[in-house]
Amino acid sequence: MHDIYNFVSGPLVWVSFIIFFGGSLYRLISMAVLARKKDVFVYEYMSLKFGLRSILHWIIPFGTVKWRKNPLFTIVTFTFHICIIFIPIFLSAHIILWKESWGISWWYISDTAADVLAIVVIASCIFFLVRRIVLPEVKYLTSISDYVILAIVAAPFITGFWTYHQWPGFKVMGIIHIVAGEIMLAAIPFTRLIHMIFFPFTRGYMGSEFGAIRHAKDW
């Protein structure tokens, strides 16, 4: 068990980070090269000012008509997205690991706060799941892969929560937690989780076309 732990918390972390950063970089560069070759418009009409203007509206809660029209979804999705990035970075348990490995550390949130936020993430995942099953327009678009992706995202938080509360089998769960986190990181470049990487570009391009060329808002 200790060997497994050492393996997943050692080499596998490296592997997952390399896949995440390397994969994301590869996806970005290969897409940029493809765009240069086949979608010259993207470069020609991309505007920093109008791209950022659009992105800004969309990353501010209730900053767009769409966000305002669906308040519950807006609250859930913003909280969810902030939490899944915020928790892993500012969790005290993770910071201890950083410190042990590389001697670096930074501000962290209290365990209670982390606990609450983890519940929020898990609840959000349940919300997304229910939405997929219940709302016809979402159900229609849903394929198995969407559930898998949701599971990939939910898993690190469920297992982490389990481990923290030292529920039965928490030691095994701890290992599963680490693996789940690594799977999620590694999955980002190669699944629809890539939306995290591509968002600034798709939104920025649409914002540029709408703003710089068509003099209209896209929010």
In the complex, the residues that contact other proteins under the rule CB under 8 A are 31-32, 34-35, 37-42, 44, 54, 58, 64-66, 69-70, 73, 135-144, 146-147, 149, 192, 194-195, 198-199, 201-207, 209-210, 213-219
| CB of 70 or CB of 166, closer to other proteins | 70
Q: Which is nearer to other proteins, 3 or 137 (CB)?
A: 137
Nearest to other proteins of 105, 142 (CB atom)? 142
Residue 127: how many CA atoms within 13 Å on its side-chain side?
Answer: 15
Least separation in angstroms between residue 185's CB and other proteins is 18
Whether 117 contacts 89, CB under 8 Å: no
Angle between helices 2-9 and 11-38 (to 10 degrees): 30
Q: How many Å apart are CA 24 and CA 3, to the nearest integer? A: 30
Give the integer Cα–Cα distance in Å for 63 and 71.
Answer: 11
- Whole-angstrom Cα distance, residue 129 to residue 99? 36
- Cα–Cα nearest to 211, from 65, 58, 49: 49
Question: Which residue number, 2 or 37, has a Cβ lying nearer to other proteins?
Answer: 37
Q: Least distance to other proteins from the beta carbon of 7, Å?
A: 31
Question: Least distance in Å: CB of 142 to other proteins?
Answer: 6
Query: How far does Cα 101 stand from its chain's mean position?
Result: 24
For the bound state, the minimum distance from the C-beta of residue 23 to other proteins, rounded and expressed in Å, comes to 13
C-beta closer to other proteins: residue 55 or 83: 55
CB of 214 to other proteins, least distance (A): 5
